Amino acid sequence: MRVGEVVRKTKETSIQVKINLDGSGIVNADTKIPFFDHMLNAFGKHGGFDLDVAADGDLEVDFHHTIEDIGIVMGLALEKALGDKKGIERFAYTAVPMDEAIAYAALDISGRPYLVMKGEFSEGGGLSFPPDLIEHYFYSLCTNAKITLHLTFEGRNDHHMCEALFKAFGIALKSAVRVDPKKGIPSTKGSI
């Protein structure tokens, strides 16, 4: 079983993440940010990952530290769960529509962290926290998981665009971590 569990405590947050890449989509998310819990549920359910996320943060200040630190810890747990990456597909791409919104995710588990995110949320927001934190979450995750991720989205409803992004990432990650036992390390260098 490919499982990664990481606990991180700072003066601003206390975050615990456990991810099972070979799970069945059972998610327990308690971040004290209900909309973000909903996004983590969408990611885990559609990726088929068992996911436990517990977070306490300085929400009285704002949501930034909590969402950023969840991204950091999620990335570290994902990197840990991937182990030596032997036999993984490595690359994946998906498109996910949600009503008027659509999100595309292209992923490379490369050992090289990079995020490209294209799309705009509405001026009024519509989310329970500033929408720029979505990009910051994915940046923190990519940096710590050491993956390259391209996300593109469009639509009119911020909730739909955001949810399509998390579902697209989950589905692409599910494909990228799929193991082919006949494959070795998926790199011409022999390591990732």
Residues whose CB is less than 8 angstroms from the CB of residue 144 and which lie 6 or more positions away in sequence, other chains included: 71, 72, 73, 74, 75, 76, 78, 79, 113
User: Which pLDDT score, from 0 to 100, does residue 146 have?
Assistant: 99
User: Which pLDDT score, from 0 to 100, does residue 189 have?
Assistant: 80
**Per-residue pLDDT tens over the stretch 77-126:** 999 999 999 999 999 999 999 999 999 999 999 999 999 999 999 866 67
**Per-residue pLDDT tens over the stretch 146-183:** 999 999 999 999 999 999 999 999 999 999 999 988 88
Q: Considering only residues 124 and 29, tell me which one the structure prediction assigns the higher pLDDT.
A: 29
- pLDDT-derived band at 127 (thresholds 50, 70, 90) equals confident
Domain residue ranges in the chain: 3-177
Strand, coil or helix: 29: strand
Q: Tell whether the model's pLDDT for residue 134 goes beyond 70.
A: yes
**Per-residue pLDDT tens over the stretch 35-81:** 999 999 999 999 999 999 999 999 999 999 999 999 999 999 999 99
φ, ψ for residue 33, nearest 5 deg? -125, 90
Q: How far apart are the C-alpha atoms of 105 and 123, rounded to whole Å?
A: 23
User: Which pLDDT score, from 0 to 100, does residue 192 have?
Assistant: 81
Strand 50-57, strand 27-30: pairing: parallel
Q: What is the pTM of this model?
A: 0.95
Domain 3-177: which CATH number of 3.30.230.40, 3.90.190.20, 3.30.300.30, 3.40.50.740: 3.30.230.40
Instruction: Note whether 55 and 64 are within 8 A (CB).
Output: no
